[in-house]
């Protein structure tokens, strides 16, 4: 296939994007300050100052209350609030290292916060949770029932296929059914073709199959962490702004725009609904939220003696003044006997929350995606079902992971749970990285016991802190930054003698500051789509189907066959596992290591 000729208009420059015309690890120097946090990117890698256990309990209390029906009204009902107070104060303190589950100040802070969240939720329909320094956004009202029905109707054609055409996700035990998955027919370095000029038209995209130039083979600098970049890239669709809302302007990978025209319109409305939630959870290094408990450790000063417990000071440290009054030499506190006694009797004081201030972001720093990025967004789509049966009634949960490799440039995820039947409660858990070096500097030298106990960490622990989980119930839209590691928690059939399912729409937002190769410039790579186009053209339109299929089978290498696509998916999945291992290994090496500094 010859390269596409340059246009007559010299103002149309040859395409330059990471992986085609630019290095895969290209960084736009003029836009770095605007880039959002990313788990894999050292330049924009978020690390927490570390949350105290009390703040994590406060966040999870707020999260649980905001799952209750009509919570936004109940938080203003003093009778109900008093009941919640009693429940919080009487919660078991087992395993809390001597602390109470909830102090009065913790509860008062949470109620003030909940009342502020209730007022904002009544206006926006969005609640931010697990929001110490960053945030997870959730909404149970963002998607209308009619839009859900339209999504179900649009997806039905993807579900109603013969059994031998169903794409069960590898290693899922035929529990996870992929309907639209970006790991099939992705960018493959050295194989995928890209238009150096012009765009792939949306409705006529299949006619462009085979056009363009092959991407170069995967190369990277010797200084790059090898597993953070990949030789494969998920293909996003371009999204443009219109007066009627976001519009999908390039095909969704593995969802034919001509066959699924109505579903495209539905997905555009889901993009519109997700954008306000993404704006809630996207942060830049110039802005982090204020934690609820900011008290720094005073080291040994964080310990006190219980009321009524007194040390008997040895006589050699007591003298008399001229009036016969005792004079106590404080050096007794340096004696081994006192230190041993104090260690035996001391009690740790636990930090209380700061004075409450509304947790409202600076509007000048909170992103406005349409205003900041008028050229549009890039979004990756995925549709998947989880099916359980009486013979296979349990889903064991997912792995801890972040989304994509660094060259995918995913900065946020949105998940919508549109159909859940006969499935037990399931949650999505989150972990964040803690800056272990910063943590070590928060306490006086060699006095780390209080900071260790406040945060629930040990000297050799990995600096990965679980901050809580969000309920993933039907009708809920959730968005979170691609900074938190996340994990689907286990669930099972509620009624073990009936089948059940859980159906999910996922949308992954590419950092708009660093546009990547998308379906706007990468023609479809599917042999089956190409065969349909060829079949329209004489003489192929005139020959028997059996002969035509034999001819198509002889076409090798490109376009990509289904069998080859599955092989590529396996390689991509292996690369992604390396990425997550590299990320975990990088942070796991940096333990808290409380020692001399």
Concatenating the DSSP letter of every residue in 531-548 gives HHHHHTSTTTTTS-HHHH
Same domain (yes/no): 404, 271: yes
Same domain (yes/no): 339, 368: no
Q: What is the pLDDT of residue 37?
A: 92
Residue 338 lies in a domain: yes
Same domain (yes/no): 457, 313: no
Same domain (yes/no): 422, 504: yes
Same domain (yes/no): 515, 428: yes
Q: What is the pTM of this model?
A: 0.92
Q: What is the pLDDT of residue 11?
A: 52
Pairing of strands 427-433, 485-488: antiparallel
Same domain (yes/no): 152, 226: yes
Residue 567 lies in a domain: yes
Residue 474 lies in a domain: yes
Residue 224 lies in a domain: yes
Residue 92 lies in a domain: no
What HEC string does 324-335 produce?
Answer: CCEEECHHHHHC
List, in sequence order, the alpha helices (H) in 45-179.
53-65, 71-74, 78-89, 104-124, 145-159
Token representation of residue 17: 């994007």
Question: Crossing angle for the helix pair 104-124 and 78-89, nearest 10 degrees?
Answer: 130
Same domain (yes/no): 463, 501: yes
Report DSSP state, residue 217: P
Residue 596 lies in a domain: no
Q: What is the pLDDT of residue 530?
A: 72
Q: What is the pLDDT of residue 594?
A: 43
Same domain (yes/no): 264, 385: yes
Structure-token match 């502020």, residue found? 116
Taking the CA atoms of 388, 393, 397 and 398 in sequence, report the sign of the dihedral they define.
Answer: negative
pLDDT in tens, the chain (597 residues): 444 556 555 457 999 999 999 998 888 888 888 999 998 887 778 888 899 999 999 999 999 999 999 999 999 999 999 999 999 999 998 889 989 999 999 999 999 999 999 999 999 999 999 999 999 999 999 999 999 999 999 999 999 999 988 999 998 989 999 999 999 999 999 999 999 999 999 999 999 998 999 999 876 554 455 568 888 999 999 999 999 999 999 999 999 999 999 999 999 999 999 999 999 999 998 887 888 999 888 888 888 888 878 777 776 777 767 666 767 767 767 777 777 887 778 889 999 999 999 988 888 889 999 999 999 999 999 999 999 999 999 999 999 999 999 999 999 999 999 999 999 999 999 999 998 888 777 777 777 888 888 998 877 778 889 999 999 999 999 999 999 999 999 999 999 999 999 999 999 999 999 999 999 999 999 988 877 665 566 665 556 666 656 665 666 777 888 899 999 999 999 988 888 887 777 666 555 554 433
User: Nearest 10 degrees: CA dihedral of 42, 45, 50, 56?
Assistant: -150
Q: Report the alpha-carbon distance of residue 295 to residue 352 in Å, rounded.
A: 8
Q: What is the pLDDT of residue 595?
A: 43
Q: What is the pLDDT of residue 142?
A: 98
- Please list, in sequence order, all residues whose beta carbon lies within 8 angstroms of the beta carbon of residue 117, skipping any fewer than 6 positions away: 62, 66, 127, 128
Q: How many domains is the chain partitioned into structurally? A: 2
Same domain (yes/no): 366, 334: no
Nearest to 433 by CA among 37, 50, 38: 50
User: Looking at 345, 373, 392, which one is the last position of a domain?
Assistant: 345
Report DSSP state, residue 510: E
Q: Are 265 and 202 in contact (CB under 8 A)?
A: no
Same domain (yes/no): 283, 313: no
Same domain (yes/no): 330, 367: no
Domain that holds residue 200: 17-51+134-287+362-525+560-588
Same domain (yes/no): 261, 228: yes
Residue 115 lies in a domain: no
Q: Are 45 and 39 in contact (CB under 8 A)?
A: yes
Residue 99 lies in a domain: no
Q: What is the pLDDT of residue 289?
A: 80
User: Looking at 296, 316, 345, which one is the last position of a domain?
Assistant: 345
Token representation of residue 439: 């943590």
């Amino acid at each position: 296939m010859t390269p596409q000729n340059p246009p007559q208009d010299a103002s149309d420059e040859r395409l330059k994007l990471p992986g085609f015309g630019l290095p895969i690890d290209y960084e736009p120097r003029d836009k770095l300050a605007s880039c959002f946090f990313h788990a894999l990117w050292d330049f924009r890698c978020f690390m927490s100052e570390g949350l105290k256990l009390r703040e994590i309990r406060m966040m999870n209390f707020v999260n649980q209350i905001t799952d209750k029906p009509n919570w936004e009204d109940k938080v203003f009902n003093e009778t109900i609030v008093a009941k919640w107070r009693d429940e919080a104060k009487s919660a078991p303190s087992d395993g809390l290292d001597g602390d109470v589950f909830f102090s009065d100040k913790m509860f008062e802070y949470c109620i003030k916060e909940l009342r502020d969240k209730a007022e904002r939720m009544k206006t926006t329909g969005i609640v931010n949770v697990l929001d110490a320094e960053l945030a997870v956004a959730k909404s149970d009202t963002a998607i209308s029932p009619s839009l859900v029905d339209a999504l179900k109707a649009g997806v039905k054609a993807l579900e109603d296929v013969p059994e031998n055409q169903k794409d069960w996700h590898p290693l899922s035990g035929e529990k996870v059914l992929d309907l639209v998955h970006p790991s099939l027919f992705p960018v493959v370095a050295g194989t995928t073709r890209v238009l150096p000029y012009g765009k792939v038209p949306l409705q006529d995209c299949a006619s462009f199959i085979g056009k363009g130039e092959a991407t170069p083979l995967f190369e990277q600098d010797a200084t790059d962490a090898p597993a953070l970049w990949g030789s494969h890239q998920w293909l996003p669709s371009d999204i443009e702004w219109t007066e009627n809302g976001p519009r999908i302007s390039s095909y969704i990978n593995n969802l034919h725009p001509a066959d699924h025209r109505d579903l495209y319109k539905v997905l555009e409305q889901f993009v519109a609904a997700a954008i306000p939630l993404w704006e809630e959870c996207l942060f830049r290094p110039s802005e982090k939220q204020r934690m609820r408990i900011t008290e720094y450790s005073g080291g040994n000063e964080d310990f006190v003696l219980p009321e009524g417990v007194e040390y008997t000071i040895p006589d050699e440290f007591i003298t008399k003044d001229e009036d016969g009054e005792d004079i106590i030499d404080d050096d007794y506190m340096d004696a081994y006997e006192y230190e041993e006694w104090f260690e035996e009797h001391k009690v740790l004081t636990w930090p209380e929350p700061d004075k409450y201030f509304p947790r409202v972001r600076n509007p000048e720093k909170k992103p406005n995606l349409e205003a900041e990025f008028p050229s549009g967004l890039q979004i990756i789509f995925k549709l998947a079902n989880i099916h359980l049966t009486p013979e296979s009634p349990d889903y064991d949960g997912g792995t801890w992971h972040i989304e994509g490799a660094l060259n995918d440039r995913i900065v946020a995820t949105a998940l919508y749970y549109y159909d859940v039947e006969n499935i037990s409660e399931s949650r999505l858990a989150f972990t964040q990285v803690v800056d272990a070096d910063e943590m070590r500097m928060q306490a006086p030298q060699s006095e780390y016991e209080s900071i260790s106990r406040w945060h629930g960490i040990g000297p050799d622990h990995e600096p990965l802190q679980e901050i809580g989980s969000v309920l993933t119930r039907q009708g809920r839209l959730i968005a979170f930054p691609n900074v938190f590691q996340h994990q689907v928690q286990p669930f099972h059939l509620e009624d073990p003698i009936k089948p059940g399912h859980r159906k999910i729409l996922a949308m992954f937002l590419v950092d708009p500051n660093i546009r990547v190769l998308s379906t706007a410039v990468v023609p479809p790579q599917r042999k089956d789509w190409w065969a349909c186009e060829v079949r329209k053209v004489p003489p192929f339109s005139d020959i028997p189907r059996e002969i035509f299929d034999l001819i198509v089978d002889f076409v090798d290498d490109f376009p990509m066959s289904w069998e080859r696509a599955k092989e590529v998916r396996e390689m991509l999945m292996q690369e992604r596992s390396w990425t997550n291992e590299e990320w975990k290994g990088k942070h796991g090496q940096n333990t808290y290591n409380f020692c001399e500094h």
